[in-house]
Amino acid sequence: MKLTNFLKDRLTAYLIYGISWVLVLIFMAAFRISFQAIIIVSLILLLAVIAAEVWGYIRKKSYYDKLLYCLNELDKKHLLSEMVESPDFLDGRILYEVLQDTNKSMCENIADYRRKNREFREYIELWVHEIKLPVASLQLMCHNDGNTKYAEQLKKIDDYIENVLYYARSGNAEKDYIIKPILLKRSFSDIAIKNREELQERNITLHTDNLDLNVMTDGKWLGFILGQLMGNSMKYEATEITVMAENLPDKTVLHFRDNGCGIPENDLPYIFEKSFTGENGRTHRKSTGMGLYIVKKLCDKLGHSVSVQSVRGEFTEIIITFGKNDIYDVR
């Protein structure tokens, strides 16, 4: 709290003091009180006003400065009301109580939304598990009847279902993953087999190198991430996919590279953003702009970093870095 601001705020009071002082002067002059007496009375009044104002200023300044300091230092500003104490002056107390009440109301509101969000997510999970049963049945039927025509469409349905599931999971604060050593080779080959028909239909050659490494991650989530990357490679006209890992002292780096159409330089900074489809999205098969967004969110949650390099018409490379330290920055 600045002194000038305080003085400005008190301006009306000072005006009233000033007017009363002038009135007092007039009265005292009318009653012919001696000049010295007038000076003394004026000084006493002035000192009294100054003393009262200084006291008031210090009292408020110390409280509000602390309040503002807390506000600045807090990274979650809404926790302010938990940090400050009730002051000993009236307007401060009123502010304090208002702060407490609004905070309480906001907490209730958030809890309500959080509950609704959780319920919705639980429903999505349940629904995904249920819809997978008929898909599984249909897949077996296709196989038993020797009909491969429908299998491709079923695979697509399953991919879209997975998308929904992981989108729901990625936005959630709850921890529903397990971080344990996962063999990159295993995870990649699971995804490769899943996409084998389409890969072969599109004549895509897979190259792997140095995937005999363990990384600390959640196996299912990593599978989904690799599946998304592979889906993109297939979508964007790749004929070769090269997956290789580098084992560095403090991290393991996975390179997922294809020789597809590449990403225009202007679009590169935005590809992990929600609903961003860019030029490739407009010119190619329908793109939702969700795949890489979910990939990024999952990586963030697991504490991996993900980045991209691409040259238009030459290659696209997604780089995922897995940490090796024991303590994870898990959000």
Residues that bind other proteins (CB under 8 A): 128-130, 132-141, 143-144, 154, 158, 162, 165, 176-178, 180, 185, 189, 192-194, 196, 200, 203, 205-206, 208, 218-221
For other proteins, the closer CB: 116 or 129: 129
For other proteins, the closer CB: 53 or 158: 158
Minimal distance, residue 165 CB to other proteins, in Å: 7
Q: How far apart are CA 59 and CA 78, in angstroms?
A: 25
Minimal distance, residue 65 CB to other proteins, in Å: 49
Q: How far apart are CA 272 and CA 295, in angstroms?
A: 8
β-strands 305-311, 315-323: how paired?
antiparallel
Minimal distance, residue 254 CB to other proteins, in Å: 16
Minimal distance, residue 140 CB to other proteins, in Å: 4
- How far is C-alpha 229 from the chain's CA centre? 22
Minimal distance, residue 162 CB to other proteins, in Å: 8
Q: How far apart are CA 24 and CA 57, in angstroms?
A: 26
Minimal distance, residue 137 CB to other proteins, in Å: 4
For other proteins, the closer CB: 54 or 193: 193
Query: Which amino acid, one-letter code, is at 55?
Result: W
CB atoms within 10 A of CB 206: 16
CB atoms within 10 A of CB 320: 23
Q: Is 208 helix (H, G, I), strand (E, B) or coil?
A: strand
- Please, are residues 320 and 223 in contact by the beta-carbon 8 Å criterion? no
- How far is C-alpha 233 from the chain's CA centre? 27
Minimal distance, residue 307 CB to other proteins, in Å: 25
For other proteins, the closer CB: 8 or 175: 175
For other proteins, the closer CB: 30 or 133: 133
Closest CA to 308 of 293, 287, 323: 293
- Please, are residues 256 and 317 in contact by the beta-carbon 8 Å criterion? yes
For other proteins, the closer CB: 187 or 321: 187
Q: How far apart are CA 191 and CA 195, in angstroms?
A: 6
Minimal distance, residue 224 CB to other proteins, in Å: 9
β-strands 315-323, 251-258: how paired?
antiparallel
- How far is C-alpha 17 from the chain's CA centre? 54
For other proteins, the closer CB: 220 or 274: 220
Residue 206 backbone phi and psi in degrees, to 5 = -105, 135
Q: How far apart are CA 240 and CA 233, in angstroms?
A: 9
For other proteins, the closer CB: 61 or 255: 255
